[in-house]
Structure 1
Amino acid sequence: MCGRFVVSQKVTDLTDVFDAEDDFPDWQPSFSLAPTDVVPIIRERAKSDTGEFVRRVEPAVWNFRPSFMKESKRPQFNSRIETVATNGLWKGAFASGRCIVPMRGYYEWTGEPGHKQAHFLHGPDDLLAAAGISTARKLDNGSWEVSTSIITREARDASGEVHDRMPVYLPLGEIERYLDPAKLDPGGAQAMVDFLIEASDRVAPTINEYEVDPRVNNHRRIDPGDPTLIEPLDE
């Protein structure tokens, strides 16, 4: 699974890499993003006045909540690739609300409660493109809230040595197909799942991990803007 991740890039870095407009001017790099935090996503949406599709870096709550979903005590922040195209909670967003969740890397833990060791998993470069889904719901105050979930798959290679699940990562040069805003029919949705599996199979072997300071274990007590959180633990 992916329960905490890092986005060390500024919004200008994200707009440059993804050739996107900036719709998240308040974003600040974070080295500890947890479920229910507001995170940057990249998606393509139509302009209300012209209908033209535009790619933007946007804010989204990392807790997937479509309009039909009742209050839930447990955040919905990961979606399984095995069911994302068929499960009633996810399939509508997978058909028409696909997005990329950019990240430097993510954390996983090993060991027993009270003695857990944190690991930072990352790619060869500073940016990874995780496949996600997004949805929007109208709040009581009349504003709209976008929320997101990261798609996960069975872990492989270094990721599998730490946990049994990992994010579905796409090569940066192959995100166009996934971000295409065209609504998928059931056949198209299955073809997209097949594409995600094949593409992420090629990224998985490039993921590496190292241990980091266990102080990252407590999200509430650390400064999320502290870049030393991802420094390798001294042996």
Structure 2
Amino acid sequence: MCGRFVGFRPLKDLMNYFPIDVANIEVTENFNVAPTQEILAITRHDEKNHLERLHWGFVPFWAKDTTVGSRMINARSETVATKPSFRTAFKNRRCLILADGFYEWAGKAGNKQPMFLTLPDGKPFAFAGLWETWDNQGKEPIPYRSATILTREASASVMPIHNRMPVILQPKAFDLWLDRKNQDVRLLQDLLHKQIYTRLKSVPVSNQVNSVKVNRPGNIKPVEIK
């Protein structure tokens, strides 16, 4: 799964790493991104890739309110094409969720060690995501836009920490994933299985990251395990 992550790159760096055509938002660093917070995502509209802010936690258009989003921060890639909550978005509203790393907790309950996971080269990356717009059947003047991160079975480098991991797309998959004309479920599932990063680096970090209130660069500094 993926329950917390990190994003600290300035906009000029994101523009170099990702296919962004339009970016009319302010980009700020966050060393402890938590569910329901706003996250940076790339969506495609009018044949252009827009960098925008979405709430983390998927809220289906038919939901009674937005509270359901806190329980839908992740979607299993194995079933996303058929699960009622996600199948329409999987065909029509896919996005790239930008990050520099994510946290996962290793060990047994009561004595879990937070770990910070990144690509081996330390470069930023994109989770495969889905997005949705909720406006309470037209009753809300400002639509609530939300997203979820797709997950998969953990790779060999992540399995010692957790049995699930987020789907991290390789750059060559970006265009097909964002292409709203691409509704080929088999092709999309192929991207999620073959055009991804699976080898990650992990380091132990301070248990202060357990609190969402602790948001500082020191969160990702490696610590010695006693």
TM over 0.5: yes
Distance 1:11 1:78 in 2: 25
Instruction: With the length of structure 1 as denominator, give the TM-score of the two structures.
Output: 0.87
Distance 2:187 2:86 in 1: 16
Question: 1:208, CA displacement in angstroms?
Answer: 1.1
Letter in 1 for 2:45: R
Distance 2:51 2:171 in 1: 15
List runs of 5+ in structure 2 lacking aligned partners: none
Distance 2:48 2:173 in 1: 18
Match of 1:22 in 2: 23
Q: Secondary structure at the match of 2:195?
A: helix
Letter in 1 for 2:44: E
Q: CA RMSD in A?
A: 1.6
Distance 1:60 1:12 in 2: 20
Number of residue pairs aligned between Structure 1 and Structure 2: 219
Distance 1:144 1:14 in 2: 26
Match of 1:50 in 2: none
List runs of 5+ in structure 1 lacking aligned partners: 47-52
Match of 1:216 in 2: 209
Match of 2:172 in 1: 173
Letter in 2 for 1:177: L
Match of 1:149 in 2: 148
Q: Percent identity?
A: 30
Q: Secondary structure at the match of 1:175?
A: helix
65-74 or 129-138: which moved more? 65-74
Matches within 5 A, 1:51-62: 53-62=47-56
Q: Secondary structure at the match of 2:35?
A: coil
60-69 or 6-15: which moved more? 6-15
Letter in 2 for 1:24: I
Matches within 5 A, 1:1-235: 1-20=1-20, 21-25=22-26, 27-46=27-46, 53-71=47-65, 72=67, 74-123=70-119, 124-138=121-135, 140-182=139-181, 184=183, 188-200=184-196, 203-205=197-199, 207-220=200-213, 222=214, 224=215, 226-234=216-224
Go from structure 1 to structure 2 and tell me whether the alpha carbon gap of 1:180 and 1:28 turns closer, same or farther (over 3 Å shift): same
